[in-house]
């Protein structure tokens, strides 16, 4: 592989390891273990496994390694470790590096399970967590302490699509020597280069755009060789969050078409946002490429495109939102995102149901808010479907 290749070329070719058969499509090494020619060879491999040498699939596997190398090349990261799900990646990235007595500063607008790890799990083990409004740099500055070990944020929040100024937050965090851990799912590795903006560790739920076809759960942690091999790997390989080789193969195929899919999705998302902004049934249309978006300038500076999700706030509250969802024909009601199929969800009663009314209010998740993950269907069909369902809402 050449470092000069464009992302689209890396997505097709980076990390490929061919077996002695010279297969075109990456092989699935559906094996738990590996054999050694001699007892001495086994002992040597356990002492220090070399490149392309594997011991046990919980530690590493050739198909999983292909996925790790391909996504690392895309992100421009030194190394990567694949995990069983996005949450296994978030959990391992934080737990592997933190210990009792450490302080963490995190943005408050988080994916529900990320919030659970920061609020419920880490604190139980003696890590202190301060939550801030991620879009307010003064709050980040005020929260930093000499013992702040890590900063956690989602570059684009779910479901209100707030965009955090990653470069500015990373500078503030690095000022006290904190490690910046970024969940970059909504921005996607295609539209935003989180590491170039200052992230030290980037995590993805590969379940979302990277698979993009609703088949598997997966996750990945990206960082320096030092962080991945010395901090993340020992934790993951001994606690069991490894990715299945079959999943890695599905995700390798997903990566091949990732760029094409997310660009088509972002084109439709923008067209939908522009077409329905100001619609009589809608109080707000949230999409980072709209000039009306509160962090429009930050989004334009750090993301090539606004992403694949548009959030719509219906004036009639929950009843109007439910009528709208039930009136859609093409767009399906589900809670995944980044899929080839357009998917819509009502966060207040599903993904964010666990939160109190107060917490939802603080995050701007009202009863009329719906999150639309735009798929790769024809844009005009999606617009017609949404227009008709809005009329009936
Ligand atoms: C989905 C998601 C996760 C969790 O990923 P899983 O693969 O479902 O475990 C974490 N963060 C964000 C922003 C997500 O959208």
Shared-domain flag, residues 186 and 310: no
Same domain, 132 and 101: yes
Give the closest residue to 241 by CA, choosing from 93, 45, 84: 84
Residue 121 forms part of a structural domain: yes
Q: Supply φ then ψ for residue 31, to 5 degrees.
A: -135, 140
236 and 287 co-located in one domain: no
Question: In angstroms, rounded to a whole number, what is the distance separating the alpha carbons of residues 139 and 131?
Answer: 9
CA-nearest residue for atom 1, ligand 1, is 205
Provide the pairing of β-strand 219-223 with 369-373.
unpaired
Instruction: Find, among 273, 310, 280, the residue nearest to 393 by Cα.
Output: 280
Predicted local confidence at residue 2, as pLDDT: 75
Shortest-distance atom of ligand 1 to CA 338: 15
Domain limit, last residue, from 254, 283, 299: 254
Residue 359 lies in a domain: yes
pLDDT at 52: 82
Whether the CB-CB separation of 303 and 197 falls below 8 Å is answered with no
Q: Specify whether 302 is located in the same domain as 248.
A: no
Give 121-127 contacts, CB < 8 A, sequence gap 24+: 121/91, 121/95, 122/94, 122/95, 122/98, 125/98, 125/100, 126/99, 126/100, 126/101, 127/98, 127/99, 127/100, 127/101, 127/102, 127/103
- Decide which of 220, 237, 254 is a domain's last residue: 254
Give me the number of domains the chain comprises: 2
Structure tokens at 295: 């962090």
In terms of DSSP H, where are the helices of the chain? 7-13, 39-47, 62-75, 86-95, 112-116, 122-124, 137-143, 166-175, 188-191, 225-226, 233-239, 245-276, 296-302, 317-327, 357-363, 379-391
Using DSSP bridges, classify how beta strands 309-314 and 201-205 pair: parallel, antiparallel or unpaired: unpaired
pLDDT of residue 51: 80
Both 263 and 242 in a single domain? no
Task: Examine the domain organization and report whether 193 and 47 are in the same domain.
Answer: yes
CA-nearest residue for atom 11, ligand 1, is: 111
Do 223 and 282 lie in one domain? The reply is: no
Per-residue tens of pLDDT for the chain, all 393 residues: 678 899 999 999 999 999 999 999 999 999 999 999 999 999 999 998 888 889 999 999 999 999 999 999 999 999 999 999 999 999 999 999 999 999 999 999 999 899 999 999 999 999 999 999 999 999 999 999 999 999 999 999 999 999 999 999 999 999 999 999 999 999 999 999 999 999 999 999 999 999 999 999 999 999 999 999 999 999 999 999 999 999 999 999 999 999 999 999 999 999 999 999 999 999 999 999 999 999 999 999 999 999 999 999 999 999 999 999 999 999 999 999 999 999 999 999 999 998 899 989 988 999 999 999 999 999 999 999 999 999 999
Q: Is residue 271 part of a domain?
A: yes
Task: State residue 49's pLDDT score.
Answer: 84
Same domain? For 202 and 235 the reply is yes
Integer CA distances (angstroms), 91 to 84, 86, 179, 279, in order: 11, 9, 15, 41
Opening angle at CA 365, ends 363 and 368, nearest 5: 160
Burial class of residue 167 in the structure, from the number of CB atoms within 10 Å of its CB (0-12 exposed, 13-18 middle, 19+ buried): middle
Ligand 1 geometric centre to CA of 258 (Å): 17
**Domain termination residue (choose one: 235, 254, 273):** 254
- On whether both 248 and 309 belong to a single domain, the answer is no
Whether 276 is covered by a domain: the verdict is yes
Q: What is the pLDDT of residue 354?
A: 87
Q: What CATH number is given to the structural domain containing 277?
A: 3.90.1150.10
Look at residue 34 and tell me if it is in a domain: yes
Please indicate, yes or no, whether residues 339 and 296 belong to a single structural domain of this protein: yes
The residue whose CA is least distant from atom 15 of ligand 1 is: 185
* Residue 132: CATH number of its domain: 3.40.640.10
Atom of ligand 1 nearest to the CA of 207: 7
- Examine residue 193 and state whether it is found in any structural domain, yes or no: yes
pLDDT of residue 39: 97
Quick one: which atom of ligand 1 is closest to the CA of 206? Answer: 7
Cβ–ligand 1 contact at 158 (below 6 Å)? yes
Q: Residue 1's pLDDT is what?
A: 66
Q: Is there an atom of ligand 1 within 6 Å of 376 CB?
A: no
Quote the domain boundaries for residue 327.
Answer: 259-392
Atom of ligand 1 nearest to the CA of 185: 13
Site to probe by mutation for ligand 1, drawn from 94, 208, 218 as the one with most ligand atoms within 8 Å of Cβ, is 208
> Which tokens hold the place of 270?
């923008």
Q: Return the residue whose CA atom lies nearest to atom 7 of ligand 1.
A: 86
pTM: 0.96
The minimum-distance atom of ligand 1 relative to the CA of 158 is 13
In this structure, are 163 and 307 located in the same domain?
Answer: no
In Å, what is the CA distance from 21 to each residue of 24, 112, 248?
9, 45, 20
Note whether residue 1 is domain-resident. Answer: no
49 & 148 share domain: yes
Q: Is 185 in the pocket of ligand 1 (CB under 6 A)?
A: yes
């Amino acid at each position: 592989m050449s470092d000069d290749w464009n992302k689209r070329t890396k997505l097709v070719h980076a990390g490929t390891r061919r077996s002695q058969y010279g297969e075109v499509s990456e092989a699935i090494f559906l094996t738990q273990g590996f054999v050694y020619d001699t007892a001495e060879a086994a002992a040597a491999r356990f002492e220090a496994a070399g490149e392309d040498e594997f011991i046990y699939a919980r530690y590493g596997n050739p198909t999983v390694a292909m996925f790790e190398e391909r996504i690392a090349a895309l992100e421009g990261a030194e190394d990567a470790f694949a995990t069983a799900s996005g949450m296994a990646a978030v959990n391992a990235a934080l737990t592997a590096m933190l210990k009792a007595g450490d302080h963490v500063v995190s943005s408050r607008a988080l994916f529900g399970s990320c919030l659970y790890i920061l609020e419920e799990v880490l604190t139980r083990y003696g890590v202190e967590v301060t939550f801030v409004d991620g879009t307010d740099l003064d709050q980040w500055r005020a929260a930093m302490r000499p013992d702040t070990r890590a900063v956690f944020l989602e570059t684009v929040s779910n479901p209100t699509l707030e965009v955090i100024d990653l470069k500015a937050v990373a500078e503030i965090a690095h000022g006290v020597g904190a490690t910046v851990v970024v969940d970059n799912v909504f921005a996607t590795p295609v539209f935003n280069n989180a590491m170039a903006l200052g992230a030290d560790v980037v995590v993805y739920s590969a379940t979302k755009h990277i698979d993009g076809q609703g088949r598997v759960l997966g996750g990945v942690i990206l960082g320096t060789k030092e962080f991945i091999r010395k901090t993340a790997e020992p934790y993951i390989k001994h606690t069991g969050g490894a990715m299945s080789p079959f999943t890695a193969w599905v995700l390798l195929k997903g990566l091949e078409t990732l760029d094409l899919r997310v660009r088509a999705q972002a084109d439709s998302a923008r067209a939908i946002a522009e077409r329905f902004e100001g619609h009589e049934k809608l109080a707000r249309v949230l999409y980072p490429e709209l000039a009306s978006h509160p962090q429009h300038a930050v989004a334009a500076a750090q993301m090539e495109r606004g992403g694949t999700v548009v959030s719509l706030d219906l004036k009639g509250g929950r009843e109007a939102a439910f009528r709208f969802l039930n009136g859609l024909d093409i767009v399906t009601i589900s809670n995944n995102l980044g899929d080839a199929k357009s998917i819509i969800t009502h966060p207040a009663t599903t993904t964010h149901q666990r939160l109190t009314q107060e917490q939802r209010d603080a995050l701007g998740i009202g009863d009329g808010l719906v999150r639309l993950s735009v798929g790769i269907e024809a844009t005009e069909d999606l617009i017609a479907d949404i227009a008709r369902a809005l009329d009936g809402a």
